Amino acid sequence: MPFKTLDDVSDLNGKTALVRVDFNVPVEDGRITDDTRLRVALPTIKKLLDKGAKVALLAHFDRPKGKVVPAMSLAFVAPALSALLGEEVAFAECLDQRYEGAARVVLYENVRFHPGEEANDAGFAKQLAALGDIYVNDAFSAAHRAHASTEGVAHLIPAYAGESMRRELTALDKALGNPERPTLGIVGGSKVSTKLDLLKNLVGSLDALAIGGGMANTFLYAQGHDVGGSLCEKDLKDTALEILREAETKGCKIMLPLDIVVAQEFKANAPHRTQSLNAPLSAEDKIFDAGPLTVEALTTVMEGSKTLIWNGPLGVFELPPFDAATVAAAKFAASQTKSGKLVAVAGGGDTVAALNHAGVADDMTFVSTAGGAFLEWMEGKVLPGVAALEA
């Protein structure tokens, strides 16, 4: 999809760039515990400042549902951003007038304090548009929402993709839009029901798809395997079989666990065993990870692939030893990527956590911190905030 970037803007002297960012940061006792989303916004802010613009930032925090909730104010973010940027970041409570102070960067109050934001109200979008001369969307993670600050305002003043948005869209295009083949997907997680649209889209797009985590149990059960007391959506047996048939029709190789790691309780270093799919399971036995044969088969396919897109772990990676399959696959993907043999794009909260756990997040081609937006993109859905940027 063609979209305009900041490289398409020349002279911004005397103008204000209205930038939608994602500052919905994790907070504990009034302190930001992870400033990743602030740091991600810095390249766009600095590039706009270098072009002579003033920068007005729009963001949301939490879910005030159109009401002013003092505990959800963005005031605490301004000093944190100022420290990272190395210059003053002013804070403005009112969204009905332009900031006219001396600071080159201003952060406006939580846009979700206004009912017109989530309703994508035309009047509120017009009010926001009056705050700037151009609009820049740098919040891919909010692009699946058709809100006033993510979609409505983009139609009222010239709109561009920020640096973070540009990187995200470029990476996703390499992974799904126009990938180098063969393509491999890894999809994990606990439930098939939460990723039906994703699976149905991917089997029509990829050459191979590995299914792991709790959702693999539903597919194994559908094939007639005993899953003991494992998490399993047995009522989705027919749906799982339908997905398997569709994959076969469309030429997508489905990879399910060949061996499993079983325990009776989920705790660190719990007594466990690795066994084949045909070995018996008791009602107390639960599948918590894929075994080494599964990892070997996956890495073999990965070795022959040019593109990998990854969403979800292969097992319950939060505790050892049930992190083994995810860590091994992640490290192999990282090695292939670093050697230039693989374009590896990953995203989703659990996926990011798993890659960080394996120590390889920085070695992948691109890791998206967006949750819902990344998932909807993989599902083949149109993201309103992205569509509004089309050139």
Tell me the per-residue pLDDT of 119-142, one tens digit each, with 9 for 90 and over.
999 999 999 999 999 999 999 999
CATH code where residue 46 lies:
3.40.50.1260
- Residue 357: inside a domain: yes
Q: Do residues 293 and 331 share a domain?
A: yes
For the segment 105-122, what is each residue's pLDDT rounded down to a tens digit?
999 999 999 999 999 999
Residue where a domain terminates, one of 134, 166, 198: 166
Closest CA to 369 of 35, 36, 21, 33: 36
pLDDT digits (tens, 9 = 90+) for 336-352: 999 999 999 999 878 99
Residue where one domain finishes, among candidates 166, 201, 217: 166
**Known binding-site positions for substrate:** 22-24, 37, 60-63, 112, 145
Report the mean per-residue pLDDT for the chain.
95
For the annotated binding site for (2R)-3-phosphoglycerate, the residues are 37, 112, 145
**Residue 361: strand, helix, or coil:** helix
284 close to 311: Cβ distance less than 8 angstroms: no
In this predicted structure, what is the pLDDT of residue 349?
Answer: 73
Share of the chain above pLDDT 70, in %: 99
Catalytically annotated residue among 66, 229, 372, 380? 372
Which contacts (CB < 8 Å, 24+ apart) does range 370-375 have? 370/140, 370/141, 370/143, 370/168, 371/141, 371/347, 372/141, 372/144, 373/140, 373/141, 373/142, 373/143, 373/144, 374/140, 374/141, 374/172, 374/311, 374/347, 374/348, 375/195, 375/198, 375/311, 375/347, 375/348
Question: Is residue 262 situated within a structural domain?
Answer: yes
CA distance 189 to 138: 28
Domain count, the chain: 2
Indicate whether 391 pLDDT > 70. no
Q: Which residue of the set 37, 104, 174, 286 is catalytic?
A: 37
Strand partners, 57: 19, 107
Judge whether 108 lies within some domain.
yes
Number of C-beta neighbours around residue 107 at 10 A: 26
191 is known as an active-site residue: yes
Cα separation, 352 vs 83, whole angstroms: 26
Tell whether the model's pLDDT for residue 1 goes beyond 80: no
Q: Give the domain range for residue 201.
A: 179-378
d(CA 264, CA 339): 40
pLDDT per residue as tens digits for the range 50-70:
999 999 999 999 999 999 999
pLDDT tens digits, residue range 278-310? 999 999 999 999 999 999 999 999 999 999 999
3-state class of 170 per DSSP?
A: helix
Out of 135, 166, 197, pick the residue that ends a domain. 166
* Domain-located, residue 172: no
Give yes or no: 126 in active site.
no
* Digit-coded pLDDT (tens) for 257-282: 999 999 999 999 999 999 999 999 99
> Which of 46, 51, 191, 200 does the annotation list as catalytic?
191
Same domain, 303 and 201: yes
Region 347-364: mean pLDDT is 92
Residue positions forming the annotated binding site for ATP: 195, 318, 348-351
Query: Does the active-site annotation cover 46?
Result: no
Average pLDDT over residues 21-45: 93
How deeply is 88 buried, as exposed, middle or buried, from its count of CB atoms within 10 A (0-12, 13-18, 19+)? Answer: middle
Q: Contact 48/136 with Cβ under 8 angstroms? A: yes
Binding site residues, as ranges?
22-24, 37, 60-63, 112, 145, 195, 318, 348-351
144 and 223 belong to one structural domain = no
Report, as an integer, the average pLDDT of 166-176: 90
The catalytic position among 349, 371, 380, 381 is: 349
Is there a catalytic annotation at residue 213? Answer: no
